[in-house]
């Protein structure tokens, strides 16, 4: 994607029409007060590692135990990290760890429940040792190259975000643009509360009593939005989507909401400040979507 921010519809207003295509949106990678789960995309593994190192050093400064998950040889990475005094000391005492992707997630497919159980054990151990939390930076690229594994891992991304919301744990997921196409990056980035600029125009992630949707939905990403809806895990009953941070939506994504709700025999409640959405839903006869205008 690599597009620059363009939050209006060409007339200078934020809103809805059938022909709009958003020029882009800037998404802060680590916003305070939001879930500690973000997505980075990179072209150079060395740059991702350097960025992850800064993220983990900040965790050490805050009192966290930290872990770096890499597809590289662990001893090679550890040797590099020993050049940084703070990391060298943390590695020696076990406050910092480097582990392989296979050791973290398994080599035969991801068992989500087992993974979350492992996270709980690691987090509880960190807290018992006097740390303020647990911070992880992981290169997930090898886990999503195969389409079948990618489907399972994308669902996991959504579930782990729900897990992180209520725990003193934060995570960065990195994906290699030289090994994954832009649509794959977008499908993964949109399931995080925040992501690098240019990775996704919207984000869909767990919130209180439903899902949170922000950003922009237009002709360029409505298919990715439909995929994200399919992968999203939510409670039975009506699906409430808190879309107060949504700046634009066109009819295609409203149709996806209706079809998704119909396939699950439920209603979608879309809470948004975009008043035209209500009129468009009525015009299209989308009986499975109810718009509640906020603000």
Domains of the chain with CATH codes: 35-200 (3.40.50.300), 201-295 (3.30.750.24)
Cα angle value 194/49/168 (rounded, 5°): 50
Q: What are 286's two structure tokens?
A: 């989308």
Q: At what angle do helices 74-81 and 45-61 cross, to 10 degrees?
A: 60
List, in sequence order, every beta strand (DSSP E) within 83-154.
Answer: 96-100, 133-139
Q: What is the mean pLDDT of the chain?
A: 89
Kindly report, residue by residue over 73-112, the tens digit of the pLDDT. Answer: 999 999 999 999 999 999 999 999 999 999 999 888 889 9
Percentage of the chain surpassing pLDDT 90? 83
- Please check the confidence at residue 31 and state whether its pLDDT lies above 60: no
pLDDT of residue 92: 98
- Please check the confidence at residue 25 and state whether its pLDDT lies above 50: no
Closest to 224 in 3D by CA, of 262, 187, 268, 275: 187
Binning the chain into helix, strand and coil, the percentages to the nearest 5 are: 40, 25, 35
Mean pLDDT of 162-184: 97
Least confident of 226-230, 233-237, 265-269: 233-237
Confidence grade of residue 236 (pLDDT, cut at 50, 70, 90): confident
Confidence grade of residue 21 (pLDDT, cut at 50, 70, 90): very low
Mean pLDDT of 187-214: 96
Kindly report, residue by residue over 135-153, the tens digit of the pLDDT. Answer: 999 999 999 999 999 999 9
- Please check the confidence at residue 23 and state whether its pLDDT lies above 70: no
Percentage of the chain surpassing pLDDT 70? 88
């Amino acid at each position: 994607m690599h597009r620059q921010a363009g939050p209006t519809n060409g007339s200078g207003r934020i809103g809805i029409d059938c022909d709009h295509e958003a020029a882009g949106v800037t998404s802060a990678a680590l916003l305070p007060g939001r879930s500690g789960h973000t997505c980075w995309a990179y072209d150079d593994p060395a740059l991702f590692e350097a960025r992850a190192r800064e993220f983990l050093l900040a965790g050490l400064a805050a009192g966290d135990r930290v872990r770096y998950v890499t597809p590289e040889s662990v001893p090679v990475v550890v040797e590099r990290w020993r050049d940084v005094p703070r990391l060298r000391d943390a590695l020696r005492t076990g406050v910092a760890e480097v582990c392989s992707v296979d050791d973290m997630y398994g080599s035969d497919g991801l068992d989500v429940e087992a993974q979350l159980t492992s996270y709980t054990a690691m987090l509880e151990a960190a807290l018992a040792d006097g740390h303020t939390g647990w911070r992880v930076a992981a290169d997930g690229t090898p886990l999503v190259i195969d389409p079948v594994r990618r489907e399972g891992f994308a669902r996991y991304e959504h579930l782990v975000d729900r897990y992180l919301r209520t725990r003193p744990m934060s995570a960065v997921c990195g994906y290699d643009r030289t090994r994954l196409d832009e649509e794959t990056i977008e499908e993964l980035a949109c399931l995080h509360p925040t992501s690098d600029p240019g990775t996704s125009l919207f984000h869909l992630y767990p919130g209180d009593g439903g899902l949170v949707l922000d950003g922009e939905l237009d002709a360029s990403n409505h298919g990715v939005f439909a995929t994200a809806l399919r992968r999203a895990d939510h409670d039975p009953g009506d699906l409430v989507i808190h879309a107060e941070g949504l700046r634009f939506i066109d009819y295609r994504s409203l149709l996806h909401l209706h079809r998704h709700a119909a396939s699950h025999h439920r209603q979608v409640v879309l809470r948004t400040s975009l008043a035209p959405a209500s009129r468009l839903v009525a015009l299209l006869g989308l009986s499975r979507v109810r718009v509640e205008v906020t603000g």
